[in-house]
Amino acid sequence: MSTLVVVGAQWGDEGKGKIVHFLAKKASYVARYQGGNNAGHTVVVGGKKYALHLIPSWILMRGVRNIIGSGVVVSPQAFQEEVLGLEKQGISSRGRLFLSLGAHVILPYHILLDGFREDSGRGIGTTKRGIGPCYEDKVARIGIRVCDYLEPDVFKGLVSQNLKIRSAELTKLKPLASIEKEVFKSYDQLRRFLQPYCADTSLLLSQALAKKENVLLESAQGAMLDLDFGTYPFVTSSSPIAGGAAIGSGIGPASIESVLGVTKAYTTRVGLGPFPSEMESKRADFLREKGHEYGTTTGRPRRIGSLDLVQLRHAIRVSGINALAITKLDTLSGTGPIEVCVAYKWKGKKLAHFPWSRQIQKEAKPVSLKLQGFDGDLSSARRFSELPKAAQDYVLWLEKTLQIPIPIVSVGPDLKQTIVRPIKTTTISQKKLFHFMGS
């Protein structure tokens, strides 16, 4: 048995969807534990592309059961669209997708508020999916959970209470009556659609753990977008770090046995906020086009930077990452010498650790090291030894410098384009992780 958390080790879009799906062989359950349809996880299987937002990537793997945990915020509309979209692609979710009764629902007024705040100059570059306002209601203890949504009288009462509470802000945007109308427009149909998927997912997971089945917990976003440990306030409103997995899925923290971090071979970020290793525009444009660095959810161009070891060490620490998967090594090919940020400098000082101060985060400049670049097409390599020597050296150097094993190297979007490196495991957590990888 093994319980593994897969987390993003940067600002999201590291390729978690692909890596989670790659690890599918041995699991009986995969659970998303936070975030909502702000996430966009692209998985390519046999040349066919799937974009997932709410549903865990393993829905594509027949026989695996999927959970949307209580830490996730769920738009019933988006849930229905995603399930139906997958059905059109031949993937059925019935009987193997379970939505937590404790997840909070995103309603049209959350989306309205998110968009309004973004457009009114107070924005941080959100995805405008209503994520922040929905989590605000949850923390304010006025949120509406899936179990409340399923009970029409309870739901109606809560909506009318919440519209009153939020009326000062909402009435600036639309009359309350029309907002309420929108909430109830498709309510009965959506409630009936959701009902068969709803379950006590914490109970399902605990039963699986009792039977010694393998469970994988999939994060959305990444460590630097974490509400507590990210570049606050330019963060999302949940906890993508591994600690969030226990809370958002309802299993005990001691059940989590290992944590795999996913990082790109360079760095990207969508939205506003500090980005110390951000590249100058010409090189960034080149990498963006080469790596198709446009958001899966919003289509926005991603900002591009060099790999940032200060940031990565921070992510490794706050999630207790035991090993890393590195993606998009193929994209770096042919881009010249590889720059890596190894420290920050700020006002003449050298910083080895990620700073808390928002001012320092904004003003810190990278201390960079240049490593030898590599050329050629990496995407057909299936063994580490088939990679150009300088590409191998880059991975080995990272492993040594960060003092963390890198057992997975990804060289293309397709599942086939994944290299597993046999690595000597030294800790129980690493052994558990390797058990998942089937080696």
353 labelled catalytic = no
Q: Which of 40, 248, 273, 305 binds Mg ion (CB under 5 A)?
A: 40
CA distance 57 to 32: 9
Contacts of ligand IMO in 350-409 (CB under 6 A): none
Cβ contacts of 231 within 8 Å, gap of 6 or more: 224, 225, 273, 274, 358, 361
Distances in whole angstroms, Cα of residue 217 to Cα of each of 24, 41, 131, 260: 11, 14, 20, 10
Beta strands in 230-380 (DSSP E): 258-264, 267-269, 303-305, 307-308, 323-327, 338-346, 349-351, 365-371
Whole-number minimum distance, CB 103 to Mg ion, in Å?
20
Asked if residue 390 lies in contact with residue 408, where contact means CB atoms within 8 angstroms, the answer is: no
Q: Should residue 102 be labelled a site residue for ligand GDP when binding is judged by CB under 6 A?
A: no
Answer with the entry of Mg ion, ligand GDP, ligand IMO, none that 331 interacts with (C-beta below 5 to 8 A by kind): ligand GDP
Question: Which of 309, 411, 419, 437 touches ligand GDP (CB under 6 A)?
Answer: 411
Question: Nearest residue to ligand IMO, using CB?
Answer: 271
Is 132 among the residues that bind ligand IMO (CB under 6 A)?
Answer: yes
Q: Distance of CA 359 to CAs 125, 231, 274, 366, Å?
A: 18, 11, 9, 15
Instruction: Check if 13 is active-site.
Output: yes
Distances (CA, A) of 83 to 69, 303, 414: 16, 31, 22
Q: Judged by CB under 5 A, does residue 218 bind Mg ion?
A: no
Stretch that binds Mg ion, among 40-48, 93-101, 329-337, 402-410 (CB under 5 A): 40-48
Residue 221 interacting with ligand IMO (CB under 6 A): yes
Taking the complex as a whole, how short is the minimal distance between the CB of residue 293 and ligand GDP, in angstroms?
8
Minimum gap (Å) between residue 10 Cβ and ligand IMO:
9
When asked if residue 138 is in the footprint of ligand IMO (CB under 6 A), the reply is no
Helix/strand/coil percent split, the chain, to 5 = 40, 20, 40
Size of the site for ligand IMO (CB under 6 A): 25
Please identify which residue in 8, 56, 243, 355 interacts with ligand IMO, judged by CB under 6 A.
Answer: 8
Which of 34, 93, 100, 126 is in the footprint of ligand IMO by CB under 6 A?
126
For residue 223 the two structure tokens come to 């460590």
Would you state the torsion angle of the CA atoms of residues 256, 258, 264, 270, taken in this order, to the nearest 10 degrees?
A: 10
Of 267 and 410, the one with the shorter C-beta distance to ligand GDP is: 410
Closer Cβ to ligand IMO, 275 or 374, answer by number = 275
The C-alpha torsion from 62 through 67 and 73 to 74, rounded to 10°, is 50
Residue in 13, 114, 137, 148 annotated catalytic: 13
Stretch (H or E) spanning 235: none
Query: What does the binding site for Mg ion look like in residue numbers (CB under 5 A)?
Result: 13, 40, 296
Query: What does the binding site for ligand GDP look like in residue numbers (CB under 6 A)?
Result: 8, 12-18, 40-42, 44, 296, 327-328, 330-331, 410-413
Residues taking part in catalysis: 13, 41
